[in-house]
Amino acid sequence: MGKLWAKGVNQGDLNTALREILTDWNATLALLDADTGVTAANFVSVCAIAAITNIDTFVGAEQTDIVSRLQAAVTSINAVNAKLDADGLTYTDYAAKYDVTDTINSTTYSTGIFDSGIDQGDLINMLYDLKTNMNAVMAYLDADGTVNTATYVSSNTIGFEIDTTGA
């Protein structure tokens, strides 16, 4: 796979990155539902991110679909963190450490990620934050003594490369 750059994105690479986030995060939710050390068993039904159905590998996806999936990913990771904090696990600071700041469709920024337009740098930064924090949650789950499944990282690491420098 290619690389996502703050200075430009190949549509095929962007689509691959989005699919990887959605697929690997949803697989993590399924592992959480099956993990007997985690009390809550409704991560998939409550927090799953819907797939982008009208995506073309080379042409891309509708901008509104990209924005809505990014919004769903932010909502999902933050909801998962809150559920993990309330679950009685060894660690109770998932949200404090790994929540993603929601700047999508925010009117407080002159640039950003909107249905009507996406700032390239903000898109890359959001993808980077999602990848970094989702992978960190998986690693934290692997280290949490209450969790019984210790294969979150090895099963579902989000691995695409992102350059946020624009170099």
118-155: per-residue pLDDT in tens? 888 888 889 999 999 999 999 999 999 999 988 999 99
Taking Cα atoms as reference points, which of 131, 144, 166 lies closest to residue 22?
131
pLDDT band of 56, cuts 50, 70, 90? low
| Contact between residue 25 and residue 159 where contact means Cβ atoms under 8 Å apart | no
Summarize pLDDT for 87-98 with one digit per residue, the tens: 999 999 999 999
Taking Cα atoms as reference points, which of 155, 148, 112 lies closest to residue 39?
148
Overall pTM surpassing 0.95 (yes/no)? no
Task: Name the percent of the chain lying above pLDDT 90.
Answer: 55
For position 120, what pLDDT does the model report?
82
Burial per residue of 126-149, b for 16 or more beta-carbon CB atoms within 10 angstroms, e otherwise? bbebbbebbbebbebbeebeebeb
Dihedral of CA atoms 16, 54, 60, 22 in degrees, nearest 10, equals -30
**How many angstroms separate the CA atoms of 106 and 162, rounded?**
23
**Is residue 109's pLDDT more than 60?**
no
The owner of tokens 């039904």 is 45
18: phi then psi, degrees, rounded to nearest 5: -60, -45
For position 14, what pLDDT does the model report?
85
For position 113, what pLDDT does the model report?
86
For position 165, what pLDDT does the model report?
79
Across 150-161, average pLDDT: 90
For position 54, what pLDDT does the model report?
67
